[in-house]
Each structure stands twice: as structure tokens, then as C-alpha cells.
Structure 1
Amino acid sequence: MLNDARSHGLWEKTAIAAPRTLPLTGQLAADVVIVGGGFTGLSAALHLAEAGRSVAVLEGTEIGFGGSGRNVGLINAGMWVMPDDLPGELGGIHGERLLQLFGNGPQIVMSIIDKHGIECELERNGTLHCAVGKSGLKEITERARQWQKRGAPVELLDANETAARIGTKAYAGALLDRRAGTLQPLAYVRGLAHAAVHAGAMLHTGSPVVSCTRDGTVWKVSTQSGSVSAEWVVVATDAYSEGPWAKVRREQVHLPYFNLATRPLPSELRKCILPRREGAWDTKEILSSFRMDKAGRLVFGSVGALRNTGTAVHVGWAKRALARLFPQLGPAEFEYEWYGKIGMTDNALPRFHRFEQNIVGFSGYNGRGIAPGTVFGQILARHILGELQEVDLPLPVTDAKQQSFRGFKESYYEVGAQLAHFSGERF
């Protein structure tokens, strides 16, 4: 997008086309205006339009331009925070609501894909959280125990079972989550856009919002070339927030994350490397993730930005890391490379904000955007429709507060990832 091959890489090459859209011009009226064309915004638009509400979506660039179109494509259940810790972070009521909601999140995503026939390379075979050493095994063992006592279909695999599923002996074990899966994220978000349009939503790209003002009984949301008046406003811009809701950006620290995709692997290698096509990531602090796409490309990623000196450092590290993990691959060559920004909150949990009366939004997905974004969009639709009151939502209302030392932390993450990868996997 924007003639930048490193913005969406493989996903832009293989995704279905987005619906035809134009920038907003003139003045429109709707029941709801949604700012942001990612998972949350388009899920909200789809569910509202299906319920008969008039909806206008304003996207500053293109559908899926932000994190929705750049991520690894893992449909995870849950967040980074351990299940037993959520009630302590959010209180018993909201903590348990969020656990149940996110536990069911992947199934909601898959049901939407099935209902609307979205072509997005959906795989339903689960995910693998891979243990690095004794400390990693201890972590996933405890996570498995906490999910299993809640009845979740998760299974702790030993080192041999893990090696058979992944094709490497590098891990001490893995947590298999059968609720989860993988998809092509840009294709999925574009599929949501098609479904929303089919249901009657109006989509406008190239339409960054410059102001939001009260106009009598409605809100007037304006771009450079037009405006939408509506009773409700949904803010769904998350880590890429600008303009009137830049405060959402300021409460998050950007963590850069890159992905590299090999050429399609020969059939004999596909039989031994992730033969069941689970998505996987490890327990390292600077983690790595890997998965297969439909064509058999191995998609490998980690923390870091592919710009300036980072490009050579991270690509070089990835080649060494893959040689250690999968020596059967031989020298790795990458067909695509891209990166984006993960918005990290100070407690690794999302937020619900009521910015003004009838201006609401969820944000802060911490790298877990597919299922939570989709589900939160559905929740926002139900809230606007009057089916869920504010007291019934899965998160309490909080104010958007700027994180301390945000710029320093972002520089530290980018430089620190380079230093770690420059020295990592060297023998």
C-alpha cells in the first residue's frame, strides 16, 4: 500500500481485492459513523448494518492499512496475561467476562468467515505456544493448568510431540490450543468490508478525520472534503490513531514487529514442517512466530522494524534462526518482507473508552487483534443497539492516559531488538 512493499508484503500480494471505495465528499447523515477500517470498525459496521442501522465508515488510508492488514494472522484465544491474573487486573466481574469472551473469540471469527464465505485461508487446527527451555516449559504448563480448569480444550505437549508437530527439536514442549487457528489477515479484513457493504454500510477510504464537533443533537465528523452527522461515533483506530483521538495512540507504546516469507516450500518439506498448519510462537522475551500460508510459504517473524540498519540485522538474524530451527530447509531466502506496529498498553490489556456521550471505542490489543477486534466490534454494535448497557460490557470505562517515557520506550524496543538479533543465533 502507498507503493511500500514493506507495509503489507505477502498479504497484499495474495489477498482478495477490497471493495471499491472513494474518499468522502459532501455531507452525509447516518445513525453511526465509524472511524477506522480494521477488524473492530468493520465488525461493528457489519453487525450494525445487519441490524438495519445506517452506517458510514471513514478510513484514513485503505481498508486494513493498520495492524489488521500487517499482523502474523494467528486467531488466538485469550491475551498475554495469565487467565488467573485477569480478575486481579480488572476485578472479578470484568475479568471473568473478558476470559469467556476471548476464549470464544476464535469461534466467533470462524463463524463470521463461514457465514459470509470470506476467502482468507482459514485454518482451524489450533496454535502452538512453544516452550524455550525449563522456564518456558514452566510458563506454558501453568497457562495450560489455568485454562484447563476453566474447561478450555488446550493440551500440553511434550518435547517429542512438539517436534512431530513442528519439525524441530528446539522446544521443550508446547501448549496446543484447539480453539485457535490462522488466517490471511488482510484477506479477512477485506472480506469483512465486502460483507459490511453487502449489508448496507457506506465505506470511504482516503478520508482521515480532522475534527469531531457537536452539531445540535448529533456529532459532526469531518474530513478535508466532507462530513458525516450521526448520533453515535465509534473510534476504531487503535495503535494508528491520529487527529481528534490521538490520545489513544499516546496511551500505547509502539512495539515494531516484522514478518518474512519464504518461497513456497517443496512438498516433502511441507510434510515435516508444520504439517497440520498450526500457527506458532515461542516463550522468549523477544519472541519469534512462524506459520505456513496456503501456498506453503513459511512466514517467520519477530520484534523489530525493517528500516535503516534494522533491515539487514533482522533479515540476517532470521536466516540464522531458521537454519538452527529447521536445518532441513537449507539456506533461507525470503520472497516478501514487511512490518508494522503493535500498540502495547501498560498492563497488556485492552481498554474501553467513552470519549464523550455516544463516542466510544475499544483499543489496546497488544498484538492480539484478530479475535478481540472482531468480538469488540460486535460488542460495540450491541451496545449501540441497546442490547448491552455500559455496565454489561466486558471492560470498565477508563480514561485514555499517556504512558510515561513513551518515546524512550519505543526507541529502546527498536534498538534493543536490533542488538539482540545482531548477536542472536551466532555460534
Structure 2
Amino acid sequence: MKEQCLWHATSPEPAPQFEALEGERMADVVVVGGGITGLSTALHLAESGVDVSLVEAGDIPSGGSGRNVGLVNAGLWIPPDDILKALGEKDGERANAILGGAPKEVFALIGRHGIECHATQTGTLHLAHNGKGEQDLARRAEQLARRGAPVELLEDEGCWQKVGTKQIRCALLDRRAGTINPAGYTRGLARAASAAGARLHTHSPAQGVTREGDDWRVATPRGSVRAPRVVVATNAYTEDDWNQVKEHFFPGHFFQVASKPLSEEVAGDILPERQGAWDTRMVLSSMRRDSEGRLILGSLGKGDGRPQAYVRCWADRIQRHYFPQLGAVEWETTWTGKIAFTPDHTLRIFEPAPGILGVSGYNGRGVTTGTVVGKGFAHYLVTGKDDLLPLPISSPEPIKVKPLWSSGYEGGFTLYHAGQCLRVLI
């Protein structure tokens, strides 16, 4: 089993080639970070005629934008009414509405720019793993339906046909959603942004942002860009001390394991419509099929650095529980990505200094949230209005005791997975 991101290896969009930033440049806006948020920002700005430069520390993609599950989900992690409790009624319903429409924005970009990313639009499935999970899904379904979302609570035979296992008797189908190869999507955004006129520079890590007159200067090892406005779109991969985004999330991880391609004769009844799925466990399991028929399982926590026997044992346990009809499965590759968590499971959009915009805390919903935040940032920079952003621009307090949050999450994930491997939990 190789430690390699499947999405990078199977992306139908070729890896884009951009030069590192050299020398001094001027721009209207500098974007730091070449993931989905940064590229969506650059693309929408360039389409509005704004002179925009983007700097990325590695290749595109190098962070979570190319390493996630590839679910094009609607909304935030928590149910709509819980979002209102966390954010207040006005801001909560704003977030529900904009993020509820986010899959439509993603698929519109894919269609408009001809992005090759194996997109499906057959929805996603939230799977109830026990009676409590069924109650949770019923509550979510009622709240979403009340807001006009095209969701359906599937039970028994209807559920089994969509999922391919009788271990689940209830699932919530959200028809707004779908799946993509996230590396392909991110590469396609880069191609589109470049074609629209954005100047993209890879292998150009931002080493600091300093004030120079009315402008900000973003320095890289071999050059710099000066502009009056800066967008910092580094999210879960924020590490530098100068970058204040790191104060507004605590890092977590999500690992995945992919099988070798499975024939339709063997696995055709498993997620036959290619919906992505995840369950209601405290430490969830995700599952989907890719364009070549692989079964891809994932869960919260680190996989890299763990013994392969541990990762393989976990994957075997989940596969044999949900899909025993497959028999023994040969696992081909495994990889891990980072997630930016916040204590209330909602994102933060803020202005750490005049002229600088930042965002953090997608809590595992980066494909859709990053896309609409990028569009909203561009709209704000062009018009001065923040109404396309999921939340108003605010001044949140830094998250306290971040190391305790991170270690608590990771320790809990590890114990849970160990219990699954030892057959104490499932």
C-alpha cells in the first residue's frame, strides 16, 4: 500500500506549471494560498478586470484542496437550527442560504470552464449507524426541508439500494450535492484563473506581509508583490508566525484508504449511483467510489506516520462491516490531509488588519465553502459589499488553548480507531 494521494495520481486535469515569483511586482490584490479559496478569489477577481497576483508555497494543489474526500456538500457540518444557535438568527440563516447553494456554484464553475474532475451530481448520503443516528437524520431532514432543500429520508429497501449494505437502514439523501476529484477541480480553477488574467506563482511561499505606505508588501524568497489589498487563504495549512489566520482554528486531520479498482461484477451494488457518503458515528467513516470503481474509506485522524498494519486493519474492519460481499480487499494507497476546526464548528471571516482579509475554520467542508468564500471575497473587493460571503466580515477573538483542542481531538480519534481495530467498537 503506497502513501500517495489518489486524487493527484488520477486527476484528469494535468498539473499546472507556473513560475516562481521573481523580482518586484505591483498588483491591485495579492492572494496568499493556491487552494480552492485562493484560486476562486483570483478567478473571480480576474474576471472582473482586477489585476491580481497569487503566491503559493508548493504546487497546485499541495494542501487540503487536493487531499479531501471530494464531497460537494451543502451547508455546514452542524444542522441548520444549530447554526442559528451558534451565529444568531440573521447570520445563521445567511450562512444556511449561501452555503446551501454552494454546490450549485461549484458545478457552475465546472461547467463554465470545462473543468475535468469526474464530477457527479447524484447527491450525497448521510448514513445512520444506529437508532440515535436515525433520530439525528430525521431532525436534520425536517430542518432542511423546512428551508426548501431537496432532501429525502431513505429507509429500509430504498436505503439499501442506494448504499449497498443492510448494515444501514436509514440515510439522508441531499440532491443538491455530489462528488469530484478535488485535485482535478483545484487544477481546473488554476487553469481558468490564469486564462482570465490572474498571475499565479508556485513555489513562492509568503515570508511576511509588511506595510509600505498605502500598500502591503508580500515577500517571497526571490521576489515580492505590493498591493493595497491582500487575501490570506491558507486555512488549515497556516504555519508561519506572521500569519494571524493560525490564531483562528486548531488543526485536525483526515486520512483515507483506497482499494484497487473493483469491477462492477464484484462491487456494482455498492453506491451504484456514485454518491459520496459518511456515517453518524462520533468519529465518522466516509465512503465513496471513484471513476475507476475504487472503494475509498476515510475517517478523522492521522494516517501518515502510523504503521500500515494499523491503517489496513481499520480499513478491513470498516469494509467487512459495511460491505462483506467484497470479501478480502486489496488496498492500493493511503493519504492524509489537514482540517481547520473551530470550537463551534462554524467558519470565521475577518480582517486582521486594514486591507487584509482572512478566513479559517471550514470544519471539513472546504470544496464548497472555499468556492463561495472566494467568490464573496472578490465581490467585496470590487464593490465593497460583503453580502455574497456566508458571514459578515467580523473581528473574532483568537481561539484559546489551541494545543489542547488539537491533542484532545487527535487522542480521541486514535482511541476510537483502536477500539474499532480491536472489535470493541464498530
Normalising by the residue count of structure 1, what TM-score does the alignment of the two structures yield? 0.95
For 1:201 and 1:9, the matched residues in 2 are separated by 27
Aligned residue in 2 for 1:182 = 179
Superposition pairs of residues 72-87 of structure 1, within 5 angstroms = 72-87=69-84
Instruction: After TM superposition, give the deviation of residue 392 of structure 1 in Å.
Output: 7.1
**Offset at 1:396?**
3.2
Which ranges in structure 2 are unaligned for 5 or more consecutive residues? none
- Pair 1:422 & 2:418 matched: yes
Deviation at 1:80, TM superposition (A): 1.4
Indicate the larger mover: 181-190 or 392-401: 392-401
AA paired with 1:404? K
Structure 1 residues 66 and 309: alpha-carbon distance in aligned structure 2, compared to 1, 3 A threshold:
closer
| Residue 251 (structure 1) aligns with | 248
Assess if the C-alpha contact under 8 Å between 1:159 and 1:174 holds in 2. Answer: no
The residue aligned with 1:10 is: 6
TM-score (norm 2): 0.95
| Aligned position for 2:403 | 407
How do residues 130-149 of structure 1 correspond to structure 2 at under 5 angstroms?
A: 130-149=127-146
Q: 1:361 and 2:329 equivalent?
A: no
Aligned length: 421
Q: Which amino acid aligns with 1:12?
A: H
- Structure 2 partner of 1:114: 111
Q: Distance between the aligned counterparts of 2:308 and 2:251, measured in 1?
A: 18
Instruction: Say whether 1:40 aligns with 2:37.
Output: yes
Q: Which amino acid aligns with 1:367?
A: G
**Do residues 103 (structure 1) and 100 (structure 2) align?**
yes
Task: Kindly state the Cα deviation for residue 409 of structure 1 after the two structures are TM-superposed.
Answer: 3.1
Q: Matches of 1:402 and 1:311 in 2, distance apart?
A: 37
Instruction: Assess if the C-alpha contact under 8 Å between 2:106 and 2:371 holds in 1.
Output: yes
Per the alignment, do residues 380 and 304 of structure 1 end up closer, same or farther by CA in structure 2, a change over 3 Å counting?
A: same
Is the partner of 1:385 in helix, strand or coil?
A: helix
SS of residue matched to 1:280: strand
Contact 2:262 / 2:293 at 8 angstroms: preserved in 1? yes
Q: CA deviation at 1:414?
A: 2.7
Alignment-derived partner of residue 300 in structure 1: 297
CA distance in 1, matches of 2:196, 2:166: 48
> Within 2, Cα distance between the matches of 1:12 and 1:148?
36
Alpha-carbon distance in 2 for matches of 1:181, 1:390: 27
| Alpha carbons 2:267, 2:326 under 8 Å: kept | no
Q: Percent of pairs identical after alignment? A: 45
Deviation at 1:14, TM superposition (A): 0.8
Cross-structure match for 1:348: 345
What SS class does the counterpart of residue 171 from structure 2 fall into?
Answer: strand
Matched, 1:50 2:39: no
1:281 aligns with 2:305: no
Equivalent AA in structure 1 for residue 92 of structure 2: G
Code of the residue aligned with 1:298 in structure 2: it is: L
Pick one of 301, 306, 316 that aligns with 1:319.
316
Deviations 1:227-261 (A, max 9, x none): 00112101100011133653322332222110111
User: For the residues of structure 1 that align with 2:81 and 2:415, how far apart are their CA atoms?
Assistant: 34
Q: Which stretch has the larger CA shift, 359-368 or 176-185?
A: 359-368
Which of 279-288 and 18-27 deviates more?
A: 18-27
Secondary structure in 2 aligned to 1:424?
Answer: helix
Distance between the aligned counterparts of 1:414 and 1:315, measured in 2? 19
Query: Is the CA contact 1:247–1:400 (under 8 Å) kept in the aligned structure 2?
Result: no
Structure 1: 5+ residue stretches without partners: none
1:187-202 equivalences under 5 Å are 187-202=184-199
Q: Which residue of 2 is the match for residue 171 of structure 1? A: 168
- Which amino acid letter does the alignment assign opposite residue 417 of structure 2? H
Q: Give distance in 2, aligned partners of 1:397 and 1:50.
A: 23
